[in-house]
Amino acid sequence: MFRRWWFVRLLRDAGPEQRSPGRRLSKDQQELVLREWEVLRDRLTGFASERVAAAGDIFRAAELRLPPEEEAARRDYLWALEAYEAAGKLLDEASDLPDLTAAVVLAERAVERLAAAHAAHAGVRPGPPVVRCFYNPLHAPVPPTPTRSPKRERQRRRLGAREAAADRRPACTACRRAILAGQTPDVLPALLPAGAAGRKSPRVLVPYYAVPQQWSPWAATGCGAYDDRAPALVLRGEHRRRV
């Protein structure tokens, strides 16, 4: 969805003195940033609405009635319901791309956890959890790590800087390949609020994980992909900007 990380090019074109969010962009460049952001937001809103609606259909078709003694299944089921509700709330209240991404992530995680509840209820082992790409949680899932042989372990100890960087965060195949090639991965952007990078700083797009935590919880949680507390946080309204 964000294949061309166009704003990196835009900021680069602005010259080295204008690359950082705190520096000035011309009025035209700022308008271009906002227009492009609106296009991305509209596209992602449509996608998130589809994913949340699809999750709703699955929940209606796969409702569970669990007796109190099925504790594990009940725990999964309740978490799934909460995550689905949080996804709907995020969709309604979204103000930026990471909110919409979190709506998709929580809707999908809700369905995954619903499947785990069904598996527990049926006495079947659930499938392995889906690991999402840190750079953009909307990307394809992170492929499972192959079992490490002693030879591979020895090779790992001689990792170069790029391999170490690629191993630092869970990355999909495409993002990992980009990092290994010394390129910028296809990162999910966020609109940095005016003034967030210093007084009079313009609204610019930055990687979502570069937004300070007091402005957004999504950097720390991979848009809800890595933290089971995300649905409760959203339902309490604590995902909104705190400054």
Residues lying near Zn ion in the complex (CB under 5 A): 133, 135, 139, 172, 175
Would you say 135 or 218 has its CB closer to Zn ion?
135
Q: Where are the alpha helices (DSSP H) in the chain?
A: 6-13, 27-61, 71-93, 97-122, 150-157, 161-168, 173-180, 218-221, 230-235
Q: At what angle do helices 27-61 and 71-93 cross, to 10 degrees?
A: 140
Would you say 86 or 206 has its CB closer to Zn ion?
206
The distance of closest approach from Cβ of residue 133 to Zn ion in the complex, given in angstroms and rounded to an integer, is 3
Report the C-alpha gap between 18 and 182 in whole angstroms: 22
Would you say 121 or 132 has its CB closer to Zn ion?
132
The distance of closest approach from Cβ of residue 25 to Zn ion in the complex, given in angstroms and rounded to an integer, is 27
Eight-class DSSP state of 18: G
The distance of closest approach from Cβ of residue 150 to Zn ion in the complex, given in angstroms and rounded to an integer, is 30
The distance of closest approach from Cβ of residue 182 to Zn ion in the complex, given in angstroms and rounded to an integer, is 16
Got the DSSP string for 167-233?
HHS---HHHHHHHHTT----PPEEEEPTTTTSTTPPPEEEEGGGS-TTT-SHHHHTTTTS-TTHHHH
What are the tokens at 68? 């109190």
Those residues whose C-beta lies under 8 Å from the C-beta of residue 148, and which sit 6 or more positions away, are 156
The distance of closest approach from Cβ of residue 75 to Zn ion in the complex, given in angstroms and rounded to an integer, is 30
Terminus-to-terminus CA distance in the chain, angstroms? 30
Would you say 172 or 190 has its CB closer to Zn ion?
172
Would you say 111 or 133 has its CB closer to Zn ion?
133
The distance of closest approach from Cβ of residue 155 to Zn ion in the complex, given in angstroms and rounded to an integer, is 24
What are the tokens at 236? 């309490």
Residue type, 199: R
Would you say 79 or 135 has its CB closer to Zn ion?
135
